[in-house]
Amino acid sequence: MKYATDYGYQIKPVYGPDDVEGLEYQRDLGDPGSFPYTRGYHENGYRSRMWTRRMTVGLGSSRDANKVLKKYREMGQRGGMCVIHDRVSCSCIDADHPLARRENGVLGWPGSSFLEFEELMEDIPLTGQSITLLGCCSPSTLRLAYVVALAEKRGIDPREVHGSVMESPFGNVFGQTDVQPFDLNMKLFLDATEYVVREKIRMRAGLVGQHFQESGGNNAQLLAVELSMLKEICGRLVNERGLDFDEAMRVPYQLIDIGSRFFEEVAKVRALRRMWAKMAKEHFGAKDEKSCQLLIAVHTSGRTMTYQQPLNNVARCAIQTLAGAMVGCTALDNATLDNAYAEPSALAARMSLNTQHIVAEETGVAEVVDPLAGSYFVESLTNEVEAAAYRVLDEIDELGGLVAAIEQGRIQAMLHEEANVKFRETNNGEQLIVGVNHLAIPEEEDSFEIPVQELEASDSEAIAQRMAAWKKTRNRDSLEAAIGRLHADAGKGDGFNLMPAIIEAVKVYGTAGEIMGVIRLARGLGYDPFELIQCPFELN
Amino acid sequence: MTEGRGIKIIVSMIGLDSHTTGAQVVATLLRDAGFEVVYLGVNQTPEMIVKAAIDEDVDVIGISSHASNFALIEDLMDLVVEHDLTDVPVVCGGNIPPNQIEKLTAKGVAKVFPPGSSGQAIVDYLAASGRAGK
């Protein structure tokens, strides 16, 4: 039996005062609400603001996803909604693209036009809850444009809407390859982020560490990569876009993965709060205390949800939810018991949301802030993961930062190696997984059938056909004018913000493929990343 | 390990699914076991996969899937028949629910390895079925 964290720290059988000898309360922990925020940002914790309890939605058509969103509200989804794009709209191609026809609405919401967003949000309020739209960096500007356009259409000031619709370009190298080039994603991400800061729109951008960890990365690497992302993004917003750091820091939030190694997960999040607070002060010279408080949302780990004996996942989900709650998160969404099969069924979604409600309402853990503080073990682990993360961070810095490290293939290699290690450890029984490599039962005994959500190829094709037909009904003149302006703006260099032109194009129902296509053309790329279709517009 | 010596296998994603971790881990596992792996990566259409299978003269086609619509794998099976490649077994791995496994098997997929499958089981199966085609 191996007693070690995933980043290689040997865990002792017992911890005592000697293990936290150098710990100074004010310097290293501070009260909740005080620098360095190891214990969280609110004096009264969840008593002043309960975490947002939500589930991620996205399967089938926009109308299908709308029904699920309404159902989740009935199930007690509180504080916010969360929708993820399908692979087609993640790639910024349209539903009627030749490569899309089998995949629309697969693994997400087919959000490649404003029409789809209107259908998604029908009878669902834009305000009074956080609006979170996830799924790759490329559609970030579109998602922001959808929100602005719908707010205007409903007569709401966009500044009244809050949530998160942007996603950093780094997620796409963490085990998920994007079809749009990294430099284009980065430029558009910075455009969207700069726009919300200057327009005072309360939309955030996810620097999603979750993908990194779900793809195999260990806890120390995750913290280092997270801080490196913040360093790159904030650095660019300040240096390239001329924003004040304290303004720029209103935008990022972290979506972090919580697995089943309970105390290590708690320590990881506490270390992240402390490490960021220090970086904000020491590296960026934060003047506003708010800038030292990195917003942290939690996703319980999908990769730990087993295919075998899926009911076991209810227990895993509960343990992970408890860790996420005890560490003080802003929002939490769960993986579900059927995560290894498909998108959540209504049963699985209800189980997961109820797991959150049980933790929130029945256990009492939400009544006290950072209840594990002062535990010899937890404080030691917090110090250990922090020290290990600083070592990785130094390596990334020496390579010239995260973008440089990615260009050299180093981050990808790091992830690949870790994924192999994790596979080997379960394969040879070093890490036991109940029902998989421990206490497995014969297939015929694993008889409890869970409902599984399915999507037929005909559903995907219907989404494609609808888009193809609908495109012809749009006002061609206003569309061409908006697309023409966007193409012209896109030729004005990386620093020229395309958000205003994208919003105009979205309002007249320019689609993801069209908008990204003409931006690509202006940058000397082909209209279609797959080189299968031609630009339908005449451009000057 | 030498179980895979002399057996050439494609490991590919299919369609726009870009969750590559599983495919990469399996590719490494197979290389370490002596297989010759042709890793095609992301954004592969069924046509591209069949073309690669012919051009590279492989013994097995391996598809990694994280998607919830398996129509593209069914399309691939149609092309395999059309190109007279039925002696090349198609093996899938990933988040594929039991009822889909039935459908894919009926369509000619030789074997599906769900998450949690042991590395040895994958290696043993491919070593045996890759040789059978020769």
What is the per-residue DSSP string for A214-232?
A: HTT--HHHHHHHHHHHHHH
What would the pLDDT profile of A468-518 be if each residue is shown by its tens digit?
999 999 999 999 999 999 999 999 999 999 999 999 999 999 999 999 999
Token pair for A425: 């450890």
From chain A, the residues in CB contact with B75 under 8 A are: 102
Flag whether pLDDT at A354 surpasses 90: yes
Q: What is the pLDDT of residue A180?
A: 93
Does pLDDT of A52 surpass 80?
Answer: yes
Residue A115 has pLDDT above 90, yes or no: yes
A335 within 8 A of A304, measured Cβ to Cβ: yes
Stretch among A52-61, A168-177, B62-71 having the lowest mean pLDDT:
A168-177
Alpha helical stretches, state H, A327-456: 346-361, 376-398, 402-407, 410-427
State the best of A61, A87, A301 to mutate against chain B, taking most chain B CBs within 10 Å: A87
pLDDT-based confidence at A458, cuts 50/70/90?
A: confident
Residue A343 has its nearest CB partner, among B29, B68, B72, at B68
Chain segment A17-39, per-residue pLDDT in tens:
999 999 999 999 999 999 999 99
- Min mean pLDDT across A87-91, A178-182, B28-32 is at A178-182
- Mean pLDDT of the A80-86 span: 94
Residue B41: exposure state from Cβ atoms within 10 A (0-12, 13-18, ≥19): middle
If you search the block for the tokens 């399915």, which residue do you land on? Answer: A454
Rounded mean pLDDT of A224-241? Answer: 97
What band does B134 get if pLDDT is binned at 50, 70 and 90? low
At residue B133 the predicted structure's pLDDT band, cuts being 50, 70 and 90, is low
C-beta atoms of B97 and A90 within 8 A: no
Name the band, by pLDDT with cuts 50, 70 and 90, for residue A400. very high
Instruction: Tell me which DSSP letter residue A450 carries.
Output: P
Which pLDDT value is given to residue A123?
Answer: 96
CATH of domain B8-127: 3.40.50.280
CA separation for the pair A155, A158 (Å, rounded): 9
Would the pLDDT of A455 be above 90?
A: no
Q: Report the greatest alpha carbon distance in chain B.
A: 35
Helix (H) or strand (E) holding A457, with range, is helix A457-471
Q: Do A423 and B119 touch (CB under 8 A)?
A: yes
**For chain B, percent of residues with pLDDT exceeding 70:** 96
How close B51 gets to chain A, by Cα (Å)?
17
Give the start-to-end residue ranges of the domains of chain B.
Answer: 8-127
Read off the pLDDT band of A273 (50, 70, 90): very high
Residue B69 predicted with pLDDT over 80: no
On average, the pLDDT of chain A sits at 95
Q: Determine the Cα–Cα distance for residues A422 and A428; give it in Å rounded to an integer.
A: 10
Pair of tokens at residue A511: 């689609």
Q: What percent of chain A has pLDDT over 70?
A: 100
* Pick from A225, A255, A538: nearest CA to A412: A225
CB of A228 closer than 8 Å to CB of A401: yes
Contact call for B97 and A106, based on CB within 8 A = no
CA of B6 to nearest chain A CA: how many angstroms apart? 24
| Whether residue B1 has pLDDT greater than 70 | no
The model's pLDDT over A484-493, given as tens digits with 9 standing for 90+, comes to 999 999 999 9
Q: Which residues pair with A333 in a beta bridge?
A: A54, A299
Q: What's the mean pLDDT in B79-108? A: 95
Residues of B (59-118) whose Cβ lies below 8 Å from A: 66-69, 71-72, 74-75, 95, 97, 99, 114-116, 118
A286, A287, A288, A290 alpha-carbon torsion, rounded to 10°: 20
Q: What is the pLDDT of residue A178?
A: 79
Residue A524, classed as helix, strand or coil, is coil
Distance CA A382, CA A269 (A): 8
Q: Is the per-residue pLDDT at A403 higher than 90?
A: yes
Give the residue ranges of DSSP H helices in A259-375.
262-282, 312-326, 346-361
Q: From CA A221, how far away is CA A225, in angstroms rounded?
A: 6
Query: What number is the average pLDDT over the span A45-51?
Result: 94
Mean pLDDT taken over chain B = 93
ipTM greater than 0.85:
yes
Burial class of residue A95 (count of CB atoms within 10 Å of its CB; 0-12, 13-18, 19+): buried
Q: Which of B42, B72, B95 comes nearest A341 by C-beta?
A: B95
> Could B15 and A87 be called an inter-chain contact, meaning their C-beta atoms sit closer than 8 Å?
yes
Q: Tell me whether B16 touches chain A (CB under 8 Å).
A: yes
Query: Tens digit of pLDDT for each residue in B53-64?
Result: 999 999 999 999
Q: What is the mean pLDDT of residues A175-203?
A: 93
Mean pLDDT for the stretch of residues A131-144: 95
